[in-house]
């Protein structure tokens, strides 16, 4: 009955007993064998010697971690010419050699991380294992999924997305712990599905993406029409060199992030020009810093909010108001379902703003190097007793 409930038959074990160890459920089981095992060195059938216990974590039961303590037969090799004197029965159906989790744990970890959007730390608590163990299981399972899919996963790919991700947070990791994530966005652009993971490449350089693209066949590179990425020039150069016929674009997330960053630079510059110091709690521009970055759909009485904070209205043609128009319309344009609608909205932004919309934002930010000019003032302000200035 217990084997049916916990489905341990799938793992090739039979439950003999169970116990509770704090929050851990411990299940004792015997490995199911169909006869004496053969020596992995010479292939001769061994003679039964004794049993050893293998401990592996399985999927949680009733919300608590489950530990399997499986007794595995051990044999003695009778062939004199074999260097291996003692060996254990093959338990690869239960878990990989040397692994501390069962094979079906890999599928559980991938589902929790990819579908349920759980964190690695949360899954580690569910399994009663460390963060590093669960992360290693996730990496190995992802690699296995990609290998099982084979070249077929690249069929029909016309739009790919490229971005970096900090995978490893340890010193000395390959590629400084970064990987280049390559996804299939064809279904997303067509409005027919979600993105698919194509591959993970160690590093975040132009060479990493270029090497991956050049390793694909000519038919795949010819089918790629669009490559979406962040603002990193290395990815653009790699895409241009490997797939010259494809259009390189910046994905919506980074478009909005870049527009918001430029708006912040404009606000900080005006703050310095008008007040002569970085933003403080009582300064109008400092109080409006989050309001300027908020989406239009989340604001009520937008113009009244901006006016109450002391920021000129768009009709005044100031840098802040022009940048604010461009930033907000850039966010609205990226959420529209049709591409030509986005072009119309950005065009209307240029018409409505007498100072040039996003162009003003892009030019006004770098005009004054914020970090370089503010560092001396920060040092002097910190030396004053009772100063509580905050970054603008």
What's 175's DSSP letter?
G
Least confident range from 49-63, 252-266, 294-308: namely: 294-308
Residue 247 φ/ψ, nearest 5 degrees: -95, 125
Write the CA distances from 345 to 140, 143, 288, 355, integer angstroms.
Answer: 45, 42, 25, 16
Residue 350: pLDDT band with limits 50, 70, 90: very low
CB atoms near residue 298 (< 10 Å): 8
Contact, 148 vs 136, CB < 8 A? Answer: no
Q: Which of residues 355 and 159 earns the better pLDDT score? A: 159
Going by pLDDT thresholds of 50, 70 and 90, the confidence category of residue 194 is confident
**In the prediction, which pLDDT does 357 show?**
33
**Which of 10-14, 18-22, 322-326, 366-370 has the least mean pLDDT?**
366-370
226-229 sheet: strands from edge to edge: 196-202, 178-184, 159-166, 226-229, 247-250
Q: 190, 185, 184: which is closest to 338 by C-alpha?
A: 190
* pLDDT computed for residue 69 by the predictor: 93
Quote the CA–CA distance of 271 and 336 in Å, as a whole number: 33
Question: What is the secondary structure of 280-296 as a DSSP string?
Answer: -TT-HHHHTHHHHHS-G
Rounded Cα gap, residues 281 and 289, in angstroms: 11
Question: In this prediction, what percent of the chain has a pLDDT beyond 90?
Answer: 14
Rounded distance between C-alpha atoms, residue 307 and residue 305, angstroms: 6
Q: Are 342 and 334 in contact (CB under 8 A)?
A: yes
Task: Give the rounded distance of the alpha carbon of 61 from its chain centre.
Answer: 28
DSSP letter at 90? P
Q: What is the pLDDT of residues 78-129, one digit of tens each?
A: 888 888 888 899 888 888 888 899 989 988 999 998 888 889 999 999 999 9
Give the residue-averaged pLDDT of 359-369. Answer: 32
Q: What is the pLDDT of residues 31-84, one digit of tens each?
A: 988 888 888 888 888 888 889 999 999 999 888 899 999 999 999 888 888 888
Q: Which tokens hold the place of 96?
A: 């990989």
Give residue 172's pLDDT band: very low, low, confident or very high (50, 70, 90): low
- Count other Cβ atoms within 10 Å, centred on residue 94: 24
Dihedral, CA of residue 369, residue 371, residue 376 and residue 381, to nearest 10: 130
pLDDT of residue 348: 40
Where in the chain are the domains? 2-95, 101-154, 155-250, 253-383
pTM for the complete prediction?
0.57
The reported pLDDT for the residue numbered 200 is 83
For the segment(s) 155-250, the CATH number from 3.30.160, 3.30.420, 3.30.70, 3.40.50 is: 3.30.420
pLDDT of residue 65: 92
């Amino acid at each position: 009955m217990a084997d049916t409930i916990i489905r341990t038959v799938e793992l090739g074990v039979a439950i003999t007993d169970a116990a509770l160890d704090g929050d851990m459920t411990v299940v004792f089981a015997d490995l199911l064998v169909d006869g004496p095992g053969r020596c992995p060195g010479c292939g001769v059938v061994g003679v039964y010697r004794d049993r050893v216990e293998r401990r592996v974590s399985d999927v949680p039961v009733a919300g608590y971690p489950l530990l399997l303590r499986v007794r595995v037969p051990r044999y003695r090799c009778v062939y004199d010419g074999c260097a291996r004197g003692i060996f254990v029965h093959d338990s690869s159906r239960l878990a990989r050699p040397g692994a501390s989790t069962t094979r079906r744990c890999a599928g559980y970890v991938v589902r929790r991380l990819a579908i349920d959007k759980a964190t690695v730390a949360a899954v580690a608590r569910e399994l009663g294992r460390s963060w590093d163990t669960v992360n290693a299981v996730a990496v190995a399972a992802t690699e296995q999924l990609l290998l099982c899919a084979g070249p077929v996963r690249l069929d029909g790919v016309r739009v790919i997305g490229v971005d970096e991700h900090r995978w490893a947070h340890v010193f000395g990791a390959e590629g400084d712990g970064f990987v280049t994530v390559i996804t299939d966005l064809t279904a997303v652009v067509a409005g027919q599905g979600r993105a698919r993971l194509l591959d993970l490449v160690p590093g975040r350089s132009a060479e990493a993406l270029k090497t991956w693209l050049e390793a694909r066949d000519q038919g795949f590179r010819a089918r790629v029409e669009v490559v979406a990425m962040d603002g990193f020039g290395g990815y653009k150069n790699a895409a241009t060199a490997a797939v010259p016929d494809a259009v390189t674009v910046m994905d919506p997330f980074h478009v909005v992030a870049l527009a918001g960053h430029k708006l912040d630079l404009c606000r900080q510059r005006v703050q310095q020009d008008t007040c002569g110091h970085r933003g403080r709690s009582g300064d109008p521009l400092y109080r409006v810093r989050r309001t300027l970055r908020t989406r239009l759909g989340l604001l009520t009485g937008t113009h009244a909010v901006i006016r109450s904070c002391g920021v000129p209205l768009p009709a005044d043609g100031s840098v802040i108001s022009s940048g604010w128009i461009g930033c907000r319309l850039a966010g609205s344009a990226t959420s529209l379902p049709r591409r030509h609608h986005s072009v119309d909205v950005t065009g209307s932004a240029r018409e409505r703003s007498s100072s040039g919309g996003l162009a003003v934002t892009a030019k006004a930010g770098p005009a004054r190097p914020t970090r370089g000019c503010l560092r001396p003032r920060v040092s002097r302000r910190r030396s004053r007793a009772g100063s509580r200035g905050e970054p603008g």
